[in-house]
């Protein structure tokens, strides 16, 4: 994962404020899994906004443990607790490196209705695109050093094979590159990472249940034991 790219990410984390991007929840039809809400901090919530249990997950798209939870544990949690209105699940970003930033920007592409599907697809294909980071060119790395973040992310998108992966989600290269150039989305993602670090998040995935930081959550059973 190219450690020499990680240091310049610190440049991104200076003087970034959160943006208001709230969205009202719609009534659930056939279960709460169709209800997606965007918080005033830009985080995405699936499920009943008034659920008695509010679960927050800080995740990284380059984290293998996050992928494992998303693909193996999250579906069961959503079926048992989110669909029934007993819990909501809020996703927040915790960036680990600049590649992670590129994936996080793409996850938001297409609006809130596509977010959770985009996320699942990025995790399902993680080994494919993450295995291509050796193809990131010197020119693309220079874009990051020069703080041309859109240029850097566009280069990463092209060079590690994220274009065909996002096209499988119905997102064209033109749409994807517009998303990667979205300065407001960039601020939102960086602000979440900054606030997560301030709240004690030092690894991924990290969970909060009803406002309390939890240790050693690796499965649905682990989460279940923390719910009301």
The structural domains of the chain, with segments of one domain joined by +, span 20-224
**Residuewise pLDDT in 10s, the chain (228 residues):** 444 444 445 544 433 332 223 333 444 454 999 999 999 999 999 999 999 999 999 999 999 999 999 999 999 999 999 999 999 999 999 999 999 999 999 999 999 999 999 999 999 999 999 999 999 999 999 999 999 999 999 999 999 999 999 999 999 999 999 999 999 999 999 999 999 999 999 999 999 999 999 998 999 999 999 999
SS3 218: coil
Residue pair 176/157 in contact (Cβ under 8 Å)? The answer is yes
* Alpha-carbon gap, residue 224 to 137, rounded angstroms: 45
DSSP characters for 109-146? TT-HHHHHHHHHHHHHTHHHHHTTGGG--HHHHHHHHT
Give, for 57, the enclosing helix (H) or strand (E).
Answer: strand 53-59
Closest alpha carbon to 52 in 20, 27, 87: 87
**What is the second-level CATH architecture of the domain 20-224?**
3-Layer(aba) Sandwich (3.40)
Helix, strand, coil % over all residues of the chain, rounded to 5: 50, 10, 40
Question: Rounded to two decimals, what is the model's pTM?
Answer: 0.87
């Amino acid at each position: 994962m190219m450690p020499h790219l990680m240091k310049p990410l610190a440049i991104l984390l200076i003087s970034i404020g959160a943006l208001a991007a709230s969205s009202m929840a719609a009534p659930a039809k056939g279960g709460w899994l169709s209800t997606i809400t965007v918080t005033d901090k830009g985080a995405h919530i699936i499920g009943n906004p008034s659920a008695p249990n509010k679960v927050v997950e800080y995740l990284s798209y380059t984290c293998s443990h996050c992928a494992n939870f998303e693909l193996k544990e999250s579906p069961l949690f959503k079926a048992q607790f989110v669909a029934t209105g007993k819990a909501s699940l809020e996703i927040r970003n915790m960036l680990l490196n600049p590649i992670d930033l590129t994936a996080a920007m793409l996850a938001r592409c297409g609006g809130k209705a596509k977010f959770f599907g985009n996320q699942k697809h990025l995790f399902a294909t993680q080994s494919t695109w993450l295995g291509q980071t050796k193809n990131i060119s010197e020119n693309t790395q220079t874009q990051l050093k020069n703080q041309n973040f859109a240029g850097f992310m566009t280069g990463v998108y092209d060079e590690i094979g994220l274009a065909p992966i996002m096209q499988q989600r119905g997102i064209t290269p033109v749409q994807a590159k517009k998303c990667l150039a979205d300065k407001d989305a960039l601020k939102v993602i960086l602000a979440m990472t900054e606030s997560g670090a301030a709240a004690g998040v030092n690894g991924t995935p990290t969970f909060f249940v009803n406002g309390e930081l939890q240790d050693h959550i690796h499965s649905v059973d682990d989460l279940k034991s923390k719910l009301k």
